[in-house]
Amino acid sequence: MKAVILAGGLGTRISEETGLKPKPMIEVGGKPILWHIMKIYAAHGVNDFVICCGYKGYVIKEYFANYFLHMSDVTFDMVGNTMEVHHRKAEPWRVTLIDTGEDTMTGGRLKRVAPYVRDEELFCFTYGDGVADLNITELIAFHKSQKVKATLTATFPPGRFGALDMQGDKVRSFQEKPKGDGAMINGGFFVLSPSVIDYIADDASVWEREPLERLAAEGQLAAFKHGGFWQPMDTLRDKTHLEELWASGRAPWKVWE
C-alpha cells in the first residue's frame, strides 16, 4: 500500500524554521518530522511513499538523495576521492518525490499525484507535520469495514482544527476551523479510494473544504476515532514540546523499534 504525504506548504506559523527548509524537514530529535511520520507508517508495513513537494522541495529531494550520509557513519578519502559508508541503516522504503507546485492547495496537491495512486485499491494520505501513536493497521481495516470512499482519523486537539459532526462512525458534516470547543477534529491520517480524486477540481481546491464536505454529505466519509496521542507541529512551541517528548525517551508516537 502507498502513503501520500503533503510536504509542500509554507509553514508560516513556524517561520523561525521554515525560512531555510520546508516544514516537514524541521527536525525533532535530529530527524525531520517527515521521517517520523514515515516510520509510523513503516511500522505497519506501509513502505511505499509519494511525497507532495512544493516550497523548497529540493531540500527534501537532497535529503533522500543523500539518505545514507544522514543516517550512517562515513569515511571520506580525500586523496583517493572515495567515500565508504559504515553500518548502512537502510529503510525498506520506496520514495517518490513529486513537485506539486509552490502555491497549490491541499486538494490540488493530491490531484497532481493521481497517476501514482489511480491503480491502487486504496491508499493512505496525511499531512507532513503531525505525529500520533496511531494503529495504521486498525485504521485500514476500519476503512475497509465501512465501505466508504474516505476515512479520516478523528481525535481530540491540543488546539482548534476542523470539527466533525458524527453519527456513529459516519461523518455527517465537516466544518474547517469552527468556533466553539469540545468536538473531535480532523487529525489527518486518511485512508482513501482513488475515486475521491474526482471530487477535486484543480490546484486551488482545498481538500478540507468542498471535497470532504461533499463526501460527508454523501455518507462517504467515515471517522476512525483515536483517543491516544496526536500532535501537529504548527508553531515553535509545538516543536519544543515534541523535542522534549523525544528527549525523554518516551515519545508516544515512536511505535517502531
pLDDT at 180: 45
* Ranges 56-70, 83-97, 113-127, 209-223: which has the least confidence: 83-97
For residue 167, pLDDT over 90 is answered with: no
Q: Residue 193 — very low, low, confident or very high, per pLDDT cuts 50/70/90?
A: very high
Nearest to 214 by CA among 229, 231, 201: 201
Task: Return the beta strands (E) in 108-175 as ranges.
Answer: 123-127, 130-132, 150-155, 163-167, 170-175
Give Dmax (Cα) for the chain: 69
Please give the pLDDT value at position 37.
98
The residue ranges of DSSP E strands in 27-135, in sequence order, are 27-28, 31-32, 48-53, 73-77, 82-86, 94-99, 123-127, 130-132
* Maximum mean pLDDT: which of 5-9, 218-222, 229-233: 218-222
**How many whole angstroms separate alpha carbon 231 and alpha carbon 158?**
7
CB 126 within 8 A of CB 189: yes
Residue whose cell numbers read 518530522: 33
- Say what the pTM is: 0.87
pLDDT value at position 26? 93
Q: What pLDDT band is residue 159 in, cutting at 50, 70 and 90? A: low
Beta strands in the chain (DSSP E): 2-7, 27-28, 31-32, 48-53, 73-77, 82-86, 94-99, 123-127, 130-132, 150-155, 163-167, 170-175, 185-186, 190-192, 221-226, 230-232
Range with lowest mean pLDDT among 33-47, 129-143, 175-189, 238-252: 175-189
57-89: burial string, b at 16+ Cβ within 10 Å, e else = bebbeebbeebeeeeeeeeeeeeeeeeeeeeee
pLDDT reported for residue 169: 87
What mean pLDDT do residues 130-137 have?
97
Structural contact between residues 222 and 213, judged by C-beta atoms closer than 8 angstroms: no
**For the chain, what is the mean pLDDT?**
90
Give residue 2's pLDDT.
98
More confident residue, 180 or 256: 256
Q: Does position 67 have pLDDT exceeding 80, yes or no?
A: yes
